[in-house]
Structure 1
Amino acid sequence: MMMKKDNWKDFLLVIIGNFVLAIGVTVFVLPNDILTGGVAGIAVALQPLIDIDPTIIINILTVALFFVGLIFLGKQFALKTLLSSICYPMLISLLSWFLAAYFPENYFVMDRYLATIYGGIFMGCGVGLIFRCGASSGGTDIPPLVIHKYTHISLPTLVLITDALTVLLGVLTYGFQAALVGIISVFISSVSIDKMLTLGAIKSKNCIIISEHYEEMLHYIHQNLARGTTILRGYGGYTHEDRPVIMVVVSKKQYPLLQYEAQKVDPNAFIIVTDTDEVHGLGFSFQEELS
């Protein structure tokens, strides 16, 4: 059976994500001994204790944790993680060999804070690309998933604890300051993952409007902003009166127009505004936003 077009796209994005992740590790983390989350952070923390190349430690841990996931999380999870568990160790080994063969020793040794920032960005973007495909990067993502399955503790909390323990492991070998730098790396990486997951999303404003002049506002929204609305049934806790509540999602450039018109129609209008990172549906296509 031929692989579907979307499957090929996801397959390619997982490989690219692992390649970006491997660049962050081999170019920035390993040459500068940056404590960070994941198997790379464990490899750096253990390097002074055991005389083994960090690349080998990363490869062993990645494969070992894959089998842990297979045993405790099942075949379905293993299939989603298999590609990363193969690509990541392979790319780490190839990039390490390439950098050692074609660049002088210590070529990528740099200011620790620069390495922390750029390493975190590359690793976060790589993991974010993998997550966008619904796949897993494997490695230290697996222990939190296993614990979550049996304890139902919040997964983000478990991931944070795992990364924190990884960084704190380095206190024994590199000292407290290096661990603090490592926490910066973990934070930058998590922010980069979040940004990558919302890349290309249309940021908008979700507005809740309560006004006695709601008919005029509806007319303006429909005719001038070309946005649909939803009427919610509200009940005043103080007035004990039924009152329509307008809910509308507008683009960021349309929000000032809506705010101005609402204040003009009814200076006493009650408006609640929240940011939305992503909107799907009629009227919020990428093409329309460009027009």
Structure 2
Amino acid sequence: MMKRKQGILSYALIILGAIMASFSVALILLPNDAIDYGTAGVAIIISKLTGFQLSLCVLFVFLPFAVAGFLFLGKKFTIKAALGSVIYMLGLEIFENIPFELNTEHFLAVAFGGAILGAGLALILRNGGCIDGSEILANIVVKRLSDKTGRNYSLTPILLIFNALVYITCFVVIDSTAALLSLLVYVVATAVIDHYTDHFEAIKQVTIITQDPDGIIRDIKEKLNKTCTIMDSRGAIAGENNTLICYISFFELPLMKDIISTHSGSFSTVSTIDEILR
């Protein structure tokens, strides 16, 4: 029952986060000549150049990434990503028709809008969702590289390259002011996201204390295609046990939590790893 309540709460928070993100984009950022980043930024550029409805542009740009996410990242992740994206698109459709004007300087409005956008995206990410195709793309690339080489990779380089291309395109086809204001959105939003998700794009180290190491290792291998480092340890009360260390991405954390929860007597800690030296 507790797990079911937590599942319902996670979906509710994804919906709230998507509403916050669409509110920020439609009513604060776009009226102040700034755009969102990632695939949403691509959709906004297409909408501005073609005059097509923004929500439809978001749908058409995101859809291929959602399909790829279903094929490579699994059903559960895709369901949450699809839910967040649908609410985001509906929010854009609704908020665009609401007369609202933030009477302040562009710089302040964009900083405020970026903070709201970042808070909404942080809610989505912390609950296993995603509304941006660039994050799905980065996950797929990192997963494929990890499966092929056996090494762990950060999402950061892929996301930076993708967003750099978005802002360069904005600079060329729209204007320099829009590009610079949009870059400010990215800086503010990612600062808020990093604060509440502890650098979601970085590698995560999961340290698991357990008396059932074989079962957890088997599940991690089958469900995440990852391996673990095993250390003997001893608890003051529990006695002999094992400490497992595993490196995963932020988007693999929900599945790791499910694995650990099925093995009674196990608990874990999660920390952010900036770099792994070899």
- Normalising by structure 2, we get a TM-score of 0.61
1:150 paired to 2:141: no
1:137 paired to 2:112: no
Aligned to 2:70: 70
Aligned to 1:82: 82
C-alpha distance in 1 between matches for 2:141 and 2:41: 20
C-alpha distance in 1 between matches for 2:92 and 2:67: 19
- Normalising by structure 1, we get a TM-score of 0.59
C-alpha distance in 2 between matches for 1:110 and 1:161: 32
C-alpha distance in 1 between matches for 2:48 and 2:81: 30
Aligned to 1:160: 160
Counterpart residue identity of residue 118, structure 1 = F
The 10-residue stretch of structure 1 (23-32 or 53-62) with the greater mean CA deviation from structure 2: 53-62
Counterpart residue identity of residue 108, structure 2 = L
- Within-5 A mapping of 1:180-219: 180-197=180-197
Aligned to 2:219: none
C-alpha distance in 1 between matches for 2:176 and 2:145: 31
Runs (4+) of structure 1 moved beyond 4 Å? none
C-alpha distance in 2 between matches for 1:111 and 1:39: 27
Q: 1:6 to 1:74 in 2, by over 3 A?
A: closer
- Flag the structure with higher helix content: 2
C-alpha distance in 2 between matches for 1:173 and 1:110: 26
Counterpart residue identity of residue 52, structure 1 = F
- Within-5 A mapping of 1:1-291: 4-97=4-97, 99=98, 103=99, 107-108=101-102, 111-152=105-146, 153-197=153-197
C-alpha distance in 1 between matches for 2:102 and 2:61: 24
Percent identical residues: 26
CA contact under 8 A between 2:85 and 2:130: conserved in structure 1?
A: no
Q: 1:38 to 1:45 in 2, by over 3 A?
A: same
RMSD: 2.6
Q: 1:109 to 1:68 in 2, by over 3 A?
A: farther
Q: Deviations over 1:149-189 (max 9, x none)?
A: 22355212211222221111101222334322222211111
Counterpart residue identity of residue 27, structure 1 = L
Q: Deviations over 1:50-84 (max 9, x none)?
A: 22132321232233321232233332431332321
Q: Deviations over 1:191-239 (max 9, x none)?
A: 01122336xxxxxxxxxxxxxxxxxxxxxxxxxxxxxxxxxxxxxxxxx
C-alpha distance in 2 between matches for 1:110 and 1:41: 23
Counterpart residue identity of residue 136, structure 1 = C
Aligned to 1:260: none
C-alpha distance in 2 between matches for 1:23 and 1:44: 15
C-alpha distance in 2 between matches for 1:128 and 1:160: 18
| Aligned residue pairs, count | 193
C-alpha distance in 1 between matches for 2:82 and 2:46: 25
Deviation, 1:117, is 0.6
SS at match of 1:35: coil
C-alpha distance in 1 between matches for 2:44 and 2:79: 28
Q: List runs of 5+ in structure 1 lacking aligned partners.
A: 199-279, 281-291
Deviation, 1:110, is 5.5
Q: List runs of 5+ in structure 2 lacking aligned partners.
A: 147-152, 199-268, 270-278
